[in-house]
Amino acid sequence: MKLKHTLLLTATAVSFASCSSEPKQNGEESNQSDSTQTEEVTEQEEVAKPSGYAIGDEATDFNLPATDGQMISLAGYGDAKGFIICFTCNHCPYAKAYEQRIIELDNMFAPKGYPVIAINPNDPEIVPEDDMESMKKLAEEKEYPFPYVLDESQEIYPQYGATKTPHMYVLENVEGKYIVRYIGAIDNNYKDAAAADEFYVQDAVNALLAGEEVSVTETKAIGCSIKDKRS
């Protein structure tokens, strides 16, 4: 079953351009003409070479504060078959465009043992809209069915190698070890959920649930660059 088609709220092209260079419909980056856009592309290319996890690596656990006041860890889900880890945030237009699809992933797969955990990797001193209070308001307003946690020390996202919001990781629980099975985008059309025809995260989890190999293990994440205090 594919994700149900959802209508996105209209977002201006200026809004996306201010976050990062706007890619083409299926994830290809468009040519940039002005210097501001070129600088943004350069920034993203520099960040896009992390020393994070590769497919088949074991992901370490974390213990991060959530908007409901709880501390969230992978080990806290004793019966989980795996996880859909989503690095996302409040302010990014790409994150907003994918928000409903992330909710639908949790609705679809949490009952089957693959819950979503959303992690905000941004430094709120750089982007005040991404602070915990704003996260709480957003989670309540949108009625997130999954935990929304803050990577306060900004130590977790570099371990994963996340560079964008959103940036997705599918982990499989193999005898208590969390093995990375997929890294990249949610699907192949950030602009229009109804136009997407490749559902990378959904297909990866369905394959794991069926005991099969994931056919597409890596794609290019499309989104805003992560705002790090050390940059």
The tally of CA atoms less than 13 A away on the side-chain side of residue 10 is: 1
Q: At what angle do helices 93-109 and 200-209 cross, to 10 degrees?
A: 20
Nearest to 35 by CA among 25, 47, 21, 23: 21
Q: CA-to-CA distance for 108 and 135, rounded, in angstroms?
A: 23
pTM for this predicted structure: 0.81
Element (H, E) at 132: helix 132-142
Residue 46: pLDDT band (50, 70, 90) is very low
d(C-alpha 195, C-alpha 224), whole Å: 21
To the nearest whole number, what is the mean pLDDT of the chain?
85
Q: Which helix (H) or strand (E) holds 136?
A: helix 132-142
Whether residue 45 lies inside any domain: the answer is: yes
Contact partners, residue 185, CB within 8 Å, separation at least 6: 27, 166, 168, 200, 219, 220, 221, 222
Judge whether 122 lies within some domain: yes
- Domain assignment present for 3: no
Confidence at residue 19, expressed as pLDDT on a 0 to 100 scale? 53
Taking the C-alpha atoms of residue 108 and residue 154, their distance in angstroms, rounded to an integer, is: 29
78, part of any domain: yes
Q: Are 176 and 144 in contact (CB under 8 A)?
A: no
Residue 119 structural domain: 13-225
**Is residue 138 situated within a structural domain?**
yes
Q: What is the pLDDT of residue 78?
A: 87
What are the pLDDT digits (tens) for 117-145?
Answer: 999 999 999 999 999 999 999 999 999 99
pLDDT of residue 17: 46
Count of the separate structural domains present in the chain? 1
Query: Which of residues 45 and 209 earns the better pLDDT score?
Result: 209
CB 135 within 8 A of CB 90: yes
146 — pLDDT class (breaks 50, 70, 90): very high
- Of 21-35, 49-63, 179-193, 201-215, give the lowest mean pLDDT range: 21-35
Is 5 within a domain? no
Q: CATH no. for residue 194?
A: 3.40.30.10
Structure tokens at 130: 């991404």
Q: Residues for the chain: how many in total?
A: 231
Asked if the structure places residue 6 within a domain, the reply is no
- Asked whether residue 8 is assigned to any structural domain, the reply reads no
Beta partners for residue 170, in sequence order:
84, 182
